[in-house]
Amino acid sequence: MSRPLGLYVHLPFCVRKCPYCAFNSHALTAEDSLEGYAAALELEARRRRAEADRPVTSVFFGGGTPTVYPAQALVRILSTLRSVYGFAPDCEVTVEANPGTVAPADFVRLRRGGFTRVSIGGQSFHPDRLRVLGRIHGPGEIAAAVTAAQEVFAQVNLDLMWALPGQELAEWQADLEQAVALGPSHLSLYGLEIEAGTRFATLHRQGRLKLPDEASVLAMGALARRRLARAGYVQYEVSGWARPGCRSRHNLNYWRRGEYLGLGAGAHSFVGGVRSWNLSSPSRYARALADGGLARQGWERPDRNEAADEWLALRLRLVEGFSEAAFRRAFGLTVSEAFPGVLAELCALGLLVRGAGRVRLSARGRMLMNRVVLELSARRIDLTALPPSA
Ligand SMILES: C[S@@+](CC[C@H](N)C(=O)[O-])C[C@H]1O[C@@H](n2cnc3c(N)ncnc32)[C@H](O)[C@@H]1O
Ligand code: SF4
């Protein structure tokens, strides 16, 4: 089997900007040209054809809100990508869809046009929480979108957020019940992160966001794990639960540090050991492409230290963790030699579990993943000082 190759397509426009969101997404204004941006994407795809030396194994249209585009426009971009890059026969093709921007007929058009999976941003079923989150939809539109998507797609993901301002355990339980009752094939549960530069960051600084305390957050996490396991979902990633056979192949490739091309404003790529990223402003991105360029903003080749930190941080997101033999194959020394002492300490603290040649986070470790990853990186030896064969 050839190595996976992901293709990410960034569509940065939204109906309006949510106050917690730090993604490269922008409220659509009269100055924006959806057509101009789509044309730039197609130009970028053609100009970067040579970066792909094999057919694409997964595609992800993310945002922003891809479904501010008519379904026909998304299908057209997809068919250009298919003709430029070639898709593997069982290629997974996901599109993010926001309640309030899709009708049942759109799902039919997307399915006919080659998309195989839909990811719906629901966030919460509680009207007060949706209001605080600045969402453009109510709970009814989430259920309607999931149900309509399920009529035509076997693979449907629902995103929910938790640890929200004003949220209590009983309300989170009700959200989980509604999600389970809808029965999507995949659920992504994201604990709210207060991101720098957002409206939420300002409100937080001013003490105007009433966030659940740490004990409540841990209880919410534990409740989700129990409830979803009982409903037949298997957690395979820090934020990801899937019915058997329904994991997101595109995301798995990220967590395994596989290669991917990213097209669109601000999109990142990782090919041939090089990370690169595009201009983040959609208008500057589109102009650069229209002017005959590539809209690339920068690139770097992670050194051995950065590569080892990244390798561990990404794989530890997966419930399966990583194989010690695979680390050795990738870096030429054992994980204990590269990170001396710290693995045993994190195991003793109950944050890591080690056995049968694998290392993974415990359930508690997954809740404290950022701390674990920082600790590992701080205790790594300098791998760049070793001879290349070490
Ligand atoms: C790339 S976003 C875009 C999805 C889509 N536009 C939407 O809003 O439904 C993907 C997901 O990230 C999550 N997300 C965004 N900002 C977040 C934050 N500050 N903390 C936690 N999760 C967040 C939301 O669940 C969202 O559905
Ligand atoms: S959360 Fe989604 S809809 Fe809201 S601004 Fe971010 S990308 Fe747009």
| Ligand minimally distant from the alpha carbon of residue 97 | 1
Residue 67 Cα, ligand 2 centroid: separation in angstroms? 12
Q: What is the CATH number of the domain that holds 166?
A: 3.20.20.70
In a domain, 216, yes or no: yes
Q: What is the pLDDT of residue 367?
A: 87
What's residue 2's pLDDT? 78
Nearest to 7 by CA among 39, 75, 54, 72: 54
Total structural domains within the chain = 2
Ligand 2 within 6 A of 269 CB?
Answer: no
pLDDT in tens, 162-208: 999 999 999 999 999 999 999 999 999 999 999 999 999 999 999 99
> Which residues constitute the domain of residue 76?
5-254
pLDDT tens-digit series, residues 88-129? 999 999 999 999 999 999 999 999 999 999 999 999 999 999
**278, part of any domain:** no
> Does the C-beta of 141 come closer than 6 Å to ligand 1?
no
CA-based nearest residue to 178, from 130, 222, 227, 219: 227
216 shares a domain with 315: no
Cβ(8)–Cβ(62) under 8 Å?
A: yes
Does residue 16 sit in the same domain as residue 151? yes
Which mutation among 96, 98, 102, 199 tests ligand 2's pocket best, with the greatest number of atoms within 8 A of CB? 98
CA-closest candidate to residue 71, choices 152, 159, 161: 152
pTM, to two decimals: 0.96
Distance 213 CA to ligand 2 centre (A): 25
Low-confidence ranges of the chain (pLDDT < 70): 1, 389-390
Distance between Cα 357 and ligand 2 center (Å): 40
54 plus 114 within the same structural domain: yes
| Model pLDDT, residue 1 | 63
Give pLDDT, residue 390.
54
Does ligand 1 have an atom closer than 6 angstroms to the CB of 177? no
User: What pLDDT, on the 0 to 100 scale, is given for residue 386?
Assistant: 84
261 assigned to some structural domain:
no
Question: If you measure from the C-alpha of residue 13 to the centroid of ligand 2, how many angstroms do you get, rounded to a whole number?
Answer: 9
Closest listed ligand to the CA of 160: 1
Ligand nearest to the CA of 240: 1
> Ligand 2: does its nearest atom lie under 6 Å from the Cβ of 62?
no
Same domain, 93 and 184: yes
Q: Report whether residue 130 contacts ligand 2, using a CB cutoff of 6 Å.
A: no
Probe target for ligand 2 pocket from 11, 23, 136, with the most ligand atoms within 8 Å of CB: 23
- 295 in a domain, yes or no? no
CATH code, domain with 345: 1.10.10.920
Give the C-alpha separation, 131 to 126, whole Å.
Answer: 9
Do the domain assignments include residue 376? yes
Long-range contact set of residues 202-208: C-beta below 8 Å, sequence gap at least 24: 203/19
Domain assignment of residue 170, yes or no: yes
Among the bound ligands, name the one nearest to the CA of residue 162.
1
Residue 228 pLDDT: 98
Last-in-domain residue among 254, 279, 313: 254
User: Which atom of ligand 1 lies nearest, measured to the CA of 62?
Assistant: 1
Domain co-membership, 223 together with 332: no
Atom of ligand 2 nearest to the CA of 96: 2
3-state SS assignment for residue 167: coil
**pLDDT for the residue 387:** 76
> Cα separations (Å) of 324 from 35, 123, 226, 376?
48, 36, 29, 15
Q: Among residues 222, 254, 286, which one ends one of the domains?
A: 254
